[in-house]
Amino acid sequence: MRRLLLLLTASSVLSGCLSPLPAVDPQMAWVDMSTPTPGGKLIMAERLDHQRLTDGRFFQVTPGSHELIVRFDFEEFSGGSGLMIDPSERLCYLTIRYDHFEAGQRYMLEGRSLAFTPSARLYNAKREIVAEDREVNCIM
């Protein structure tokens, strides 16, 4: 029974990842996400303007001002006496507010970790930083 439950859970998670992304609405701004740092494991859209999202792979927002909250999972590597020990995982929620989303534009939200400190940056299509996290809440 336990194996069946695990199999069903795994298949539902995988099917969610394999579903196609919706069509890009030219009247909205699109926000992709990535984690360019080696320790970054997962970044997912969590909330848009305090509303929980059903698909964590992206944000699609109306022009104007919005608050984005992402879940960022990453590994912390620490060592003593020059030895590396097994990394520990951290789960953080990062909040970014940007007041100037434009219709038809694509943005990239990157979650990063430097040592033990997570951060997020929002880039426009020209790869310019337009916003940085204003709140970080780590629970692990």
- pLDDT tens for residues 41-89? 889 999 999 999 999 999 999 999 999 999 999 877 665 555 556 667 8
Residue 115 lies in a domain: yes
Q: How many folded domains does the chain comprise? A: 1
Residue 127 lies in a domain: yes
- The pLDDT assigned to 126 comes to 96
Q: What angle do CA 61, 132, 51 make, to 5 degrees?
A: 35
- Which residue range(s) make up the domain with 95? 26-138
What average pLDDT is seen over the chain?
83
Nearest Cα residue to 33 out of 53, 14, 3? 53
Residue 50 lies in a domain: yes
